[in-house]
Structure 1
């Protein structure tokens, strides 16, 4: 490692020399500092998360365009995390030995390509026919040739695009945070990483806002004369594909400055980095010519192979086993996973919930959610850290804080059951005999009547989310303060892996399947359900099913927090007994 860092720092010398000879402008060199890296990488993370969240903001339009069910659209959203999980370790390992800023920039290019790939289905899909779905609702439809089940399979390209985005995004946070940790002053590292994460968490709001704008534009405005089209709100599909192009270009532009940063910066941490001795690792030593494998046989392999492969696998397995046998760590990770399951459900289907239960238009639902939820998530992350810092909470106090916050969140979630919007004669807007002009006016009246109740519901959910996100920073602090020092990086990485596998990947799929269960009218016959869109839901069943998932996620978070508190007490007692025994022996 020392040799590696020497090589990295030696690359700075030619650059400095080149600058003194005039080949690199002197003034722009001052931008190659850790502060500017934090700024540029934070902007890049913001645009990447905006592109990822944009899909959720236009998900209803995608469902209607390609006639896919909510469970299938949930799988589409989850494919981002599938690509991220499959490649995060490989990508991080491959890029850790090279120029991390350039690897991040290349990863951003992959993200942008994934975004552009998401827009391709629009170009190869036939022009949208709103009358077809309207006729299905009124019972006047006829089977269209060979495409009885669904309109097109071109939406499969969106699966590939989401996976590419997940693969490219796998380079950003691990490489960016490690680069900052290596070359920033030790006392300022948490501040820099906090700035990066804050900018990243501004991206979801940006994605939803762009989604609210693009859904006001007709999906085929580039193919047909929009002025000649008469369409009501329930059949409207916005230009969902347009945002992918816009945000994809922003991702490319925000990645360009990172190509300029060197593999290493001058840092006060250089001596600390070079002082790490690879021989201190547990397991095989690089000096060994042979290495004991797990099967019990000895193989003659090179020192480099032994140190980098066998030792890495063996030490990783031991570390993971040690972490999973720690009750406190396990409870914290499971509590975090339950909370992220709830967040995954909210961010994926909350706009659809507002459309169905409170009769809000697609663009208005995305706008309301984009202006509220991402903002309170950011505030929750910051306020949770401030509470822990100002109160000087130790591990026990942090777990008590998590238990109290999750209990109050449960109460707020319970209040959300009582907020709905039941309008008399609302079903008349969905009748087969309603002409389109009257239907549009009817939908607008419903939207206005339910706006105040919609805002009340969003306020309750936002307040609950604000409180719940106060737990996230204490979770990080508990993990870092209780695991062994050499296990910290693996503990954080394992936490991200568990959260994606148990929460972020399955939550959209499970919630989508539950929402499909509340459907009463499909766009195609029952044998096709799963490849068809739901045209009408049972509003009460939809509402209770969705809220039950939210309530269950928060309840499980409270249970695991409570178990974590008792695990911390047991761990503290055992630690004190061990210390007393050592003192007696001494």
Structure 2
């Protein structure tokens, strides 16, 4: 195609040249201009070729032009500016963040149910992304330090898109979803013998589905490889190619896009899970989204993200190594490197790993840099815990479905994340804050948010659950260990499959069978199954004749309970906490970029990514998950030994969450204070030395 364009261009040029020579011959015969014909022809030939080169060919004299290999059209140069680059970078960041911190997390429970995966394996799927990024991030940023950063980022976007497509593959290969059991199996069958053994009769089906675990792992590996250069190289590129007084605002916009995107993932994922069945049609199955057997549409979001990522990769790859004005902006920046952390790479530094250990050691010896990253790791610990278990916390405290919890958090995080990141960037630009000013801002913000974390102590009562929080016989609070079996369902031969129903006494039962329901009366309002003659739900009893007893009914799904008065107050306070937490994002990034040597900025961002993942996002969910497991009061154990928690004691859940947030926030304050006290820039040290040397 390029060859065709070249031939076409030069054919047009030759015809014009022939016409010009004919005109010159006529002029010569009439005695005019014979001497100037050749120079004019050569000049027109030169002009035509130059015009063609400017439109279609790469300019060897302009390394800042935009395009792909030999295709660099003039119209595309209109996109060759910081604003357009930031738009494409934000698009990739939004796709990445909405996927990893949104779609993957909100679909964890669904993947467990659909592919018979224990929590340990879904936890591995979630953590695999961070492990891959940790393994490659420092090497990617080290190589990108001297390379073309947009090309690294654009290539990563393409790899990320392929990973998203791969994540959807199990849906198309596994066939239609068949949920276990049927209606007749799960209500009280008097004098029936229940098959509660783990004889492995269904092992082949379970095993075949669980093999898709490796497909999800491979997809997350591609996600990790693709996302590795995004934040470290992307933010460094913005910082180096934008006026010093505006770089914080650009980074703030980028961080805002990346920060509220998980909420888009939660919101979109929640809507898909609640409103669309995994196989798109659900009429023949007779279940709705209130049933624990329901599997919502988990895969469509990944398909959309894959398309967006691939489309975004094309313009990103086209950008040059530097935008126009980058060299001028470099000289405009005030030196702020920590004394003793100056780093001058040796010849061939970008193409060789011989200086790699020295580069990393120089960064680790930079105390302000190291302490900032410890603080970022502490904050990431909180963010990871809230991201993974936030929906579960809201679901438990306020008795809502998983889809509703995801939507609530999405609606909350979008405005607070957007406002917080933009506010942090605006403060730096408005007051022209240098390193110490940015750290002071972080300290004030974190101290304020620390006092607001008491919102986690605003707890709601744990739902009434027969045999767990409420006694079967008298309906009073249960003080002993959980026991969902009672005299009223002793002869029902109940299975252990969790299928909760809400009794007419507003008490939740483990299943229709455990409520003692002997009759199935079809479906009621909202398509929910209705059961009657429930032996464990006594609505009235004749005091003179104990044989005259009226039994209640039960409806599929959770009991609605809107009695918690703290719900509005909780979400208002948490909105402020989130906005304050997000507002320190930009200051921590710009502070790191200022305190390290200019030749180490990309490597420093990569090392920061490694540290906050290793200290925060990877261990956070593991530690917090182990803590909240202690608040579980109802476990369901599978034949393979894996367990699923269905009910948490809300007050314990809240105290563990409060404790984690307070401890991590105090550590952040300590680390930021240490960074402030140990910072001594080159100029400050030199001035102090001059004063000391004066007689």
- 2:659 is aligned with 1:548: yes
Change in CA separation of 1:136 and 1:458 when aligned onto 2, cut-off 3 Å: farther
Contact persistence 2:424–2:587 (CA under 8 A):
yes
Alpha-carbon distance, 1:422 to partner: 4.1
SS of the equivalent of 1:528 reads coil
Change in CA separation of 1:388 and 1:194 when aligned onto 2, cut-off 3 Å: closer
Within 2, Cα distance between the matches of 1:137 and 1:558? 55
Alpha-carbon distance, 1:500 to partner: 1.0
Q: Which moved more, 1:399-408 or 1:161-170?
A: 399-408
Alpha-carbon distance, 1:358 to partner: 1.7
Change in CA separation of 1:210 and 1:504 when aligned onto 2, cut-off 3 Å: same
Within 2, Cα distance between the matches of 1:416 and 1:387? 29
Within 2, Cα distance between the matches of 1:356 and 1:212? 16
SS of the equivalent of 2:212 reads coil
Change in CA separation of 1:538 and 1:256 when aligned onto 2, cut-off 3 Å: same
Within 1, Cα distance between the matches of 2:447 and 2:185? 48
Contact persistence 1:348–1:508 (CA under 8 A):
yes
Change in CA separation of 1:177 and 1:421 when aligned onto 2, cut-off 3 Å: same
Counterpart pick for 2:267 among 173, 185, 209: 209
1:258 maps to what in 2? 316
Alpha-carbon distance, 1:100 to partner: 4.0
- 2:337 is aligned with 1:268: no
Alpha-carbon distance, 1:503 to partner: 0.4
2:285 maps to what in 1? 228
SS of the equivalent of 1:263 reads coil
Within 2, Cα distance between the matches of 1:164 and 1:17? 26
Alpha-carbon distance, 1:423 to partner: 4.7
Within 2, Cα distance between the matches of 1:45 and 1:504? 18
Change in CA separation of 1:75 and 1:509 when aligned onto 2, cut-off 3 Å: farther
1:147 maps to what in 2? 203
Counterpart pick for 1:456 among 558, 561, 569: 569
Deviations 1:35-83 (A, max 9, x none): 3222222222212221222111222222333454555434322221211
Change in CA separation of 1:470 and 1:128 when aligned onto 2, cut-off 3 Å: same
Contact persistence 2:462–2:650 (CA under 8 A):
no
SS of the equivalent of 1:419 reads coil
Report the structure, 1 or 2, having the larger helix content: 1
2:52 maps to what in 1? none
- 2:10 is aligned with 1:10: no
1:315 maps to what in 2? 358
1:293 maps to what in 2? none
Q: Which moved more, 1:180-189 or 1:235-244?
A: 180-189
Alpha-carbon distance, 1:372 to partner: 0.9
1:292 maps to what in 2? none
Counterpart pick for 1:159 among 217, 234, 237: 217
Change in CA separation of 1:131 and 1:142 when aligned onto 2, cut-off 3 Å: farther
1:584 maps to what in 2? 693
2:584 maps to what in 1? 471
Alpha-carbon distance, 1:17 to partner: 12
Cα RMSD of the aligned pairs, angstroms, is 4.1
Contact persistence 1:80–1:163 (CA under 8 A):
yes
Counterpart pick for 1:559 among 670, 673, 678: 670
Change in CA separation of 1:155 and 1:537 when aligned onto 2, cut-off 3 Å: farther
Report the structure, 1 or 2, having the larger strand content: 2
Change in CA separation of 1:469 and 1:191 when aligned onto 2, cut-off 3 Å: closer
SS of the equivalent of 1:533 reads strand
Deviations 1:240-287 (A, max 9, x none): 12221122222223333334x24346613357889xxxxxx968854x
Alpha-carbon distance, 1:218 to partner: 5.1
Within 2, Cα distance between the matches of 1:264 and 1:577? 34
Counterpart pick for 2:95 among 44, 47, 55: 47
Contact persistence 1:185–1:267 (CA under 8 A):
no
Change in CA separation of 1:384 and 1:355 when aligned onto 2, cut-off 3 Å: same
For this pair of structures, how many residues does the alignment match?
A: 542
2:614 maps to what in 1? 501
Within 2, Cα distance between the matches of 1:28 and 1:111? 25
Contact persistence 1:108–1:169 (CA under 8 A):
yes
Which structure exhibits the higher relative contact order, with contacts defined as CA atoms closer than 8 Å and separated by 6 or more residues? 1
SS of the equivalent of 1:342 reads helix
2:487 maps to what in 1? none
Contact persistence 1:77–1:508 (CA under 8 A):
no
SS of the equivalent of 2:203 reads coil
Q: Which moved more, 1:453-462 or 1:34-43?
A: 453-462
Q: Which moved more, 1:100-109 or 1:354-363?
A: 100-109
Within 2, Cα distance between the matches of 1:18 and 1:468? 40
Counterpart pick for 1:91 among 136, 140, 149: 140
Within 2, Cα distance between the matches of 1:477 and 1:486? 15
TM-score (norm 2): 0.67
Contact persistence 1:47–1:247 (CA under 8 A):
yes
- 2:560 is aligned with 1:446: yes
Contact persistence 1:130–1:236 (CA under 8 A):
no
Q: Within 5 Å, give how 1:371-390 maps onto structure 2.
A: 371-390=411-430
Within 2, Cα distance between the matches of 1:31 and 1:307? 28
Change in CA separation of 1:133 and 1:512 when aligned onto 2, cut-off 3 Å: farther
Deviations 1:434-482 (A, max 9, x none): 67624996756526555x6444333322221222233333333544454
1:428 maps to what in 2? 508
Alpha-carbon distance, 1:128 to partner: 3.9
- 2:225 is aligned with 1:116: no
Alpha-carbon distance, 1:107 to partner: 1.4
Change in CA separation of 1:339 and 1:246 when aligned onto 2, cut-off 3 Å: same
SS of the equivalent of 1:240 reads coil
Within 2, Cα distance between the matches of 1:561 and 1:176? 25
SS of the equivalent of 1:162 reads helix
Within 1, Cα distance between the matches of 2:441 and 2:127? 31
Change in CA separation of 1:454 and 1:175 when aligned onto 2, cut-off 3 Å: same
Within 2, Cα distance between the matches of 1:479 and 1:103? 21
2:155 maps to what in 1? 106
Change in CA separation of 1:520 and 1:387 when aligned onto 2, cut-off 3 Å: same
Alpha-carbon distance, 1:512 to partner: 2.6
SS of the equivalent of 1:30 reads helix
Within 1, Cα distance between the matches of 2:218 and 2:387? 21
Q: Which moved more, 1:485-494 or 1:32-41?
A: 485-494
Deviations 1:279-305 (A, max 9, x none): xx968854xxxxxxxxxxxxxxxxx5x
Q: Within 5 Å, give how 1:390-405 maps onto structure 2.
A: 390=430, 398-405=438-445
Q: Which moved more, 1:34-43 or 1:179-188?
A: 179-188
Q: Which moved more, 1:536-545 or 1:354-363?
A: 536-545
Alpha-carbon distance, 1:363 to partner: 1.6
* Residue ranges of structure 2 left out of the alignment (5+ in a row): 1-57, 189-193, 332-341, 466-505, 521-527, 532-553
